Chain A
Amino acid sequence: MNAPERSEAFDERDPALPNPLPRPAGEFEALKKAWEAPRGLSFITAVNNTYVGLWYVGTAFLFFILAGILSLIMRVQLATPESDFVGHDLYNQLFTMHGTVMMFLFAVPAVEAASVYLLPNMQAARDLPFPRLSAYAFWAYFVGGLVFFCTIFFGLAPNGGWFMYPPLTGAKYSPADNADWWLLGIGFIEISAIAGAIEIIVGVMKTRAVGMSLDKMPVYSWAMLVFAAMIVIGFPAIILGTLLLEMERAFDWPFFIAERGGDPLLWQHLFWFFGHPEVYIIFLPATGMVSMIVPAMAQTPLVGYRLVVLALVATGFLSFGLWVHHMFATGLPKMSLSFFSAASTAVAVPSGIQVFAWIATIASGRMKLTTPSLFIIGFLFIFTLGGLTGVMVAMAPFDWQAHDSYFVVAHLHYVLIGGMVFPLFAAFYYWVPVASKYALSERVGRWVFGLMFVGVNVTFLPMHITGLIGMPRRVYTYPVGMGWDALNLVSTIGSFMIAAGVALFIVDFARRFRIARDENAGNVWNASTLEWLPNANYNTRSIPIVASRDPLWDQPKLSQDVQDGRYYLPGTATGGRETLVTSPFDARPQYILQVPGPGWQPLLAALFTAAFFLLLTVKMVLLSATCGVLAVFCVIWWLWETDPGPVRPPADIGGGIAVPVYATGSMNHSWWAMIVLMVVTGMVFTCLIFSYLFLWLVNPAAWPPQGTLLPEGFSPFVSCTLYVVGAALIAYASRTLRGEDRRSPRAVPVLIAAALLCVGGAAAMDLWAHWRTGLSPSAHAYGAAVYAIVSLQIFFVLTTLIMGLYTIARWLAGRLDSVRRTTFDNMMLFWFYTTGQGLVALAVVYGFPRLTGGV
């Protein structure tokens, strides 16, 4: 152990480990059996993170290659002026697909996929808290993504640029299905990203090694926590945006059509409120990886842990205040430009903190120049340059020149390749020994790095100049004699060097990567964190106690003791799959989570969900609706097996600690997931209200437009009352569902049914009130906005309806009682959310136009 001196070593402080040796016969076998993967063809029903994580990473990398090939075609086209290699139509699809696939099908899924694999390992959890949800998210992404990509072979790929600005992408200027593929395909893959984010938040907060308090958590966990929180806040904006644009295209509701009161800029605000954080959503997990790799390579703890964590959180916050810097040329007042200009430069500070933390760590240790190290150094080089050009474009006047030119193309590739692709390759080289029997070749790795590093700079450095001497982005060709020819040719040559590097990586990977289910290559870097413990499908044999940020350095015998089963939960308490849930701040054991095992449900649910969206795109409405119903059915079938209840009394996990195998209320992992989901839905709704108010600002004199009849005052009061009564009935049912007799009161299903009638009546009343006034959703943006709010509310009421009926069914089947009531609790949370949203919606839709002078 050549790690530098530590504070006192753990086992000197507390020599008594929770479980004695020898372990009882059969204990280890039972654990292995519980976590055994399905054999034969049904291995695709596997749901645990070691399987799904690898598939997920592999699929994301596949999209990296595919989108990379698209870019090579573009570079060939641009190598010479007035080239005829591909026509304008294909070219416009190519750059749209390159951006879309890289952002939505590679970058976000790749970092999410890596964490599905790594997080449980790093936190010594046996699995993520919702393995079937990860499986669902993966399959939805896999099927949806591949079908979406294939549209390029049929000339059906979207062709409006990856930020899809209307009116170009509206029905009038893009009548074909191409834009719908983007809106429905990507909209639905974002749902998969959100599912992953919920999983990650609950995973980080609730399933850590014992003693791994927040201040001992790996930086990577922090990065993923901030990442997931940013997805939860940021993605709803784009989901709402795609929803509005799709409604405009399908039903002619004019949100973005200026002649009818809409505004194209509304899309830009919604898009970039998501789109700018998106860059940091991609970048932060990569910095988390770097903060893990650098200490291992320098063999010294990270310098400035607290500052780095602070920088991650600060980046997350600041990133939501910068979106307007993508709109500097839209003619906004200079006052707001100044604000966003300042905020955009400010975000350089937390990035600077991280960069210097890594430099300080390198200086305090001894950096071994391995392939991961080389990629890290390359990352620092390229990212620093990209960050500096980022400060340049943050200056609005400079951006007026650089915006939408090749300068920006250069900048964004420096930031994204430097900030994400290089760390990812470092991560591949670094973590492959965890998943594979052999590490990748260090000798080949140097060539991969060299080709990619030189290639990136040869490709993108000249583009800064190409842009400043006038070349706009997204042009399929350019005239001779503009002075752009040589620079473009150099860029094309560079792009093929990158491709050669990636190809070499694939060859090496194919030669050396062999999936290890129990005998991996081991801790080849002498790293300090828990993913380097001996692991298998069940992850670690026992759940360790962690006393520092670098447990493997500070507790030299940890690996052996964990493997011998001397720490917590060395077997299985219920006979099935389990993981230990710990308290969110100081990671004390709370209860044993019974983790669901393999099953067809998530796979089938994902297939049908994908089919629903994809068939809708090609307007096969009936078939699509059938698939939608089947998807809901599969989800219900999948849920039916969850919420197992206390199948046995509290179990001894070692060290005299007995924890229950079931928990309800705010301790429960699904309660946390529900809260996060409510933040997501709340953000969707907030964005919709923002859109309503934004459209009002665009039409201050026509809100509502002349001649619009407002519904009478009594209908909102009826709706309001019904919502409140419904919620009160549910609250009453919850209060009575706490008795000694587990099946009392008998009235629970009746109360739920009555509440359902109330909430359904409230929504129906609301819709009817507007319908009766003759308000048209397509005549003016006002009507469109009102019906959008009403429709969203109806969607939530319908979801509540399904949840309510499901809860009644659970009761009738004897799967719900006063102890086993997680299903009820989750439904209640959602119910209260729907009620709250309904009340706010009523207040806005009925109250606001009266305030603004309607009659």
Chain B
Amino acid sequence: MNKIVSKEFFSDKVVKLVIEAPLIAKARKAGHFVIVRVDDKGERVPLTIAGADIEKGTITLVVQTVGKSTVKLGNLNPGDYIADVVGPLGQATHIDKVGTVVCCGGGVGVAPLLPIVQAMKAAGNRVISVLAARSKDLIILEDEIRASSDEVIIMTDDGSYGTKGLVTEGVEQIIKREKVDQCVAIGPAVMMKFVSKLTAQYNIPTVVSLNAIMVDGTGMCGACRVTVGGKLRFVCIDGPEFDAHQVDFDELMMRLRSYKEVE
């Protein structure tokens, strides 16, 4: 049982939860995720860790309340308990000093991006962050991202904030302007697919963090399988981060629809 310490709505459907999980707080690194089961009859859902406080023994999750379980999670309040939180799972992000790193986050993908931005900056990289969303109210964690970035570019679909346009336009603008050594993209699969296509044209090494359907999250079920470089990989233990240019995004997007009709 893990207690919810605080809760804050970033928007209608995006909620930030701070949860007591001292062992996970201590063990987690950028890129890790947890599996959450809201109650005794709940699903096991993978959620990327957006931050942690070792002293307080808490981890931060940012959740988009779109499915049955995430809606349930969003309905919980400080003081309530979550049945199970287990982790940290997956491989941590490989952080190196490479030069200039472009970190782009789409929608709620900015949350798992934040610890990577912080770690990339701490490693001595020049970090340029591109945050993208449909509209202004869906841009999250901007201040936190700014604190660890040399520059932040905001892109919105409707032009209500920053520049009107897609995330790829923001990224391309940087690539055309200066040498980019690495790109990290986290967001909806379709967004990562197009960022990946773009950086492939410029031969920029790119890492994406994949979200996939999981049951156990420890390598047992195989629900999260993806094709990377023509090979079978499991997001839960081989990932969640992969070389973007090797990922079969179309298959990933298809597999994410597995339970659409059932839901």
A binds B: no
Residues in chain A within 8 A of chain B (CB atoms):
none
Residues in chain B within 8 A of chain A (CB atoms):
none
